[in-house]
Amino acid sequence: MVTRILVIEDNLETRTLYKDWLAQAGFEPLLAATGAEGVRFLYNYRPVLILLDLMLPGMDGWETCRRIREACDIPIIIVSGKNDKSDIVRGFELGADDYITKPLDHRELVARIRAVLQRNKNKQTDEPSIFSCNGLRVDLRTHIVSVEGRKVKLSPTEFRLLSYLARNQEKVIGHKELLLRVWGPAYINEREYIKLHILYLRRKIEEDPKNPKYILTERGIGYRLTAEP
């Protein structure tokens, strides 16, 4: 099976470097110099993951990310020299699965790619496909989430986080377990990821995000999804 990675990066030297790294790791690199070219390659070649730079000519990386995410749930890793927290938050809000700041080590890049691909695998299980309680409904097969009958659009990472909490209803899930199960072993110390995505989830599913009734915080331990009214 071809594991094709689409690289959208305007710098020729960087594109060539990524091409070599990906090929050495057993991936098939597909290279695009602009956002528009990248979107076209996405439809024509069906890659399994996208590495996306932000500082692109014409249609920048933000707009490219938005268009890709509107079209499909393909994993997106932003690789950028922009390292302000506001930029990282914006990337996740647009639906990116990970955000890596430049300069980066090739081993880290490959590890992040493998982690994102691993957690995006669709696994068939015998568990119940629908979690429903107190107005919240999560369909684990169709990825449809609704609150009081209103559909809620989640990013792939947000859905993985919510579905893992739903599968473990009423169980307190520690920070490290969530990082391992939702993001992968390369992210075991990235507690900021959980805080950001719990915040995003609460904004989307809670009537009052500051006083949540679904996702509860167990201070110093982790989070749990409760069915109690």
Query: Which residues, given as ranges, of the chain have pLDDT below 50?
Result: 123-126
The two three-digit tokens of residue 83, written as one number: 């390292």
What's the rounded Cα separation, in Å, for the pair 205 and 71?
23
pTM for the predicted model, two decimal places: 0.64
Strand partners, 215: 225
| Eight-state DSSP code of residue 77 | E
Q: What is the model's pLDDT at position 229?
A: 58
The two three-digit tokens of residue 46, written as one number: 């069906």
Distances 168 to 12, 97, 217, 228 between C-alpha atoms, Å: 46, 22, 14, 14
Q: Please state whether beta strands 150-152 and 145-147 pair in parallel, antiparallel, or not at all (unpaired).
A: antiparallel
Strand partners, 139: 130
User: Could you tell me if 162 and 145 are in contact, meaning their C-beta atoms sit under 8 angstroms apart?
Assistant: yes
pLDDT digits (tens, 9 = 90+) for 187-196: 778 888 899 9
What's the rounded Cα separation, in Å, for the pair 193 and 119?
15
What's the rounded Cα separation, in Å, for the pair 121 and 129?
16
3-state secondary structure of 116: helix
Q: What is the model's pLDDT at position 125?
A: 45
Residue that has been written with the tokens 């707009």 in this structure: 63
Which domains, from first to last, does the chain contain?
Answer: 4-119 (3.40.50.2300), 130-225 (1.10.10.10)
User: Could you tell me if 119 and 160 are in contact, meaning their C-beta atoms sit under 8 angstroms apart?
Assistant: yes
pLDDT digits (tens, 9 = 90+) for 62-101: 999 988 887 777 899 999 999 888 999 899 888 899 999 9
